Structure 1
Amino acid sequence: MLEGETASVRSKVRLEEYEGWTKISMRPCSDTASPRLGESNKSAWLEVSESTQDRIVRISEDLHEITKFYNIEGSPTRYAKLSEFFESELAALSEAPFTPYSQDEKVDYILLKNFLYRSQRNLKLDREREAEFAPFVEPFAEPIREWCEIRQRQLIEEVFEPQMLANSLSKATDAVSGSITHLQEHSKEYSQATGSRAARRILELRKHIGETCDFYSGYHPSFDYWVASPRTALDTALKKLEKQVRDVLIGSDSGEDTIVGEPIGRDGLLVELEAEMIQELLRIAEREYAWCEKEMKAATSQLGYANWRDGLEYVKHLYEPPATHTTFVRGLVAEGATYVKKHDLVTVPRLAEETITITRISPARQRVSPFFLGGHRLQIAYPRADMAHDDKLMTLRGNNRHFSRATAFHEMIPGHRLQIYVGDRSRPYRTKLFSTPFFVEGWALYWEMVVWDRGDFFASPEDKIGTLFWRMHRCIRIIFSLGFHLGRFSAEECVELLVQRVGHERSTAEGEVRRSLNGSYPPLYQAGYMLGALQLIQLRREALGGGRFAEKEFHDRVLKANVMPIEMLRALLLEKELHEDFKATWRFYGDV
Structure 2
Amino acid sequence: MKNTLAFLLLMFLPFLAESSELYEPIKTFQADRSALSRKYSNALSEEYFERFGRLYEDWLTTVQDMDYGALSEDGKIDYLAFKNYLEKAVFFHDKAFSEYKEVADVKDFADELEAFYIFRRSAQKPDAKAIAAQFTDAKKNLQGKIEQLPSTTPYSSWQKAELAADVIGSLQETLEEAYLFYNDYDPAFTWWVKKPWEELSALLESYEKALKAHYENFIVKDDGSGIIGKPIGAEAIKKELEFELIPYTAQELIDEAERQFAYCEKEMLKASQELGYGNDWKAALEHVKNSYAPPGEWPGDVYDLAVEATEYVEKHDLITIPELAKETWRTKMMSPEAQRVNPFFLGGEAIIISYPTSTMTQEEKLMSMRGNNPHFSRATVQHEIIPGHHLQGFMNQRHKPYRRMFYTPFWIEGWALYWELNLWDKSFPRNASDKVGMLFWRMHRCARIIFSLNYHLGNMTPQECIDFLVDKVGHEYANAEAEVRRSFEGNYGPLYQIAYMVGGLQFYALKAEMVDQGTMSEKEFHDFIMTQNTLPIELIRARIKGETLSKDHRTSWRFLD
TM-score by length of 1: 0.85
Q: 1:515 to 1:187 in 2, by over 3 A?
A: farther
- Distance in 1 between residues matched to 2:66 and 2:53, nearest whole Å: 21
Is 1:56 matched with 2:29?
no
- Distance in 2 between residues matched to 1:255 and 1:235, nearest whole Å: 33
- Distance in 2 between residues matched to 1:532 and 1:133, nearest whole Å: 37
For 1:309-360, what per-residue CA distance to the aligned partner results, in whole angstroms no more than 9, with x for missing partners? 2222222222221211211111111111111111111111111111112112
Match of 1:555 in 2: 526
- Distance in 1 between residues matched to 2:95 and 2:364, nearest whole Å: 39
Contact 2:129 2:192 in 1 (8 A): yes
Is 1:292 matched with 2:276?
no
- Distance in 2 between residues matched to 1:324 and 1:187, nearest whole Å: 60
Residue 246 of structure 1 deviates from its aligned partner by 5.9
Residue 131 of structure 1 deviates from its aligned partner by 4.2
Contact 2:331 2:352 in 1 (8 A): yes
Match of 2:388 in 1: 415
Match of 2:3 in 1: none
Residue 85 of structure 1 deviates from its aligned partner by 1.2
Matched to 2:174, the amino acid is: H
Match for residue 321 of structure 1 among 288, 294, 303? 294
For 1:446-498, what per-residue CA distance to the aligned partner results, in whole angstroms no more than 9, with x for missing partners? 0000000001x212121111111111111111122222222222222222222
Count of matched residue pairs = 537
Match of 1:525 in 2: 496
Is 1:333 matched with 2:276?
no
Match for residue 431 of structure 1 among 398, 404, 425? 404
Matched to 2:327, the amino acid is: E
Match of 1:114 in 2: 84
Match for residue 387 of structure 1 among 321, 346, 360? 360
Residue 132 of structure 1 deviates from its aligned partner by 5.1
Residue 573 of structure 1 deviates from its aligned partner by 0.5
SS in 2 for 1:404: helix
Is 1:274 matched with 2:274?
no
Match of 2:47 in 1: 77
Residue 113 of structure 1 deviates from its aligned partner by 0.7
For 1:513-567, what per-residue CA distance to the aligned partner results, in whole angstroms no more than 9, with x for missing partners? 2222237211111111111100100101111133322111110110111111111
Match of 1:510 in 2: 481
Gaps of 5+ in 1: 1-8, 10-48
SS in 2 for 1:425: coil
Task: Describe how 1:15-34 pairs up with structure 2 within 5 A.
Answer: none
Contact 2:466 2:480 in 1 (8 A): yes
Q: 1:176 to 1:415 in 2, by over 3 A?
A: farther
Q: 1:114 to 1:255 in 2, by over 3 A?
A: closer
SS in 1 for 2:492: coil
Residue 292 of structure 1 deviates from its aligned partner by 1.3
Residue 295 of structure 1 deviates from its aligned partner by 1.3
Is 1:232 matched with 2:186?
no
Is 1:577 matched with 2:548?
yes
Contact 2:378 2:437 in 1 (8 A): yes
Residue 59 of structure 1 deviates from its aligned partner by 1.2
Contact 1:381 1:399 in 2 (8 A): yes
TM-score by length of 2: 0.89
SS in 2 for 1:379: strand
Is 1:194 matched with 2:160?
yes
SS in 2 for 1:99: helix
Residue 308 of structure 1 deviates from its aligned partner by 1.8
Q: Percent identity?
A: 40
- Distance in 1 between residues matched to 2:156 and 2:260, nearest whole Å: 38
For 1:288-321, what per-residue CA distance to the aligned partner results, in whole angstroms no more than 9, with x for missing partners? 1111122122212222223222222222222221
Residue 255 of structure 1 deviates from its aligned partner by 13
SS in 2 for 1:561: coil
Matched to 1:274, the amino acid is: E
Match for residue 263 of structure 1 among 217, 231, 236? 231
For 1:86-105, what per-residue CA distance to the aligned partner results, in whole angstroms no more than 9, with x for missing partners? 11111111221111222111
- Distance in 2 between residues matched to 1:181 and 1:486, nearest whole Å: 37
- Distance in 2 between residues matched to 1:552 and 1:50, nearest whole Å: 25
Residue 60 of structure 1 deviates from its aligned partner by 1.7
Residue 125 of structure 1 deviates from its aligned partner by 1.3
- The alignment's C-alpha RMSD in Å is 2.7
Contact 1:346 1:556 in 2 (8 A): yes
- Distance in 1 between residues matched to 2:289 and 2:164, nearest whole Å: 40
Contact 1:193 1:260 in 2 (8 A): no
SS in 2 for 1:364: helix
Higher relative contact order (CA 8 A, sep 6+): 2
Match for residue 149 of structure 1 among 118, 134, 151? 118
Residue 210 of structure 1 deviates from its aligned partner by 2.2
Is 1:301 matched with 2:301?
no
Q: 1:399 to 1:179 in 2, by over 3 A?
A: farther
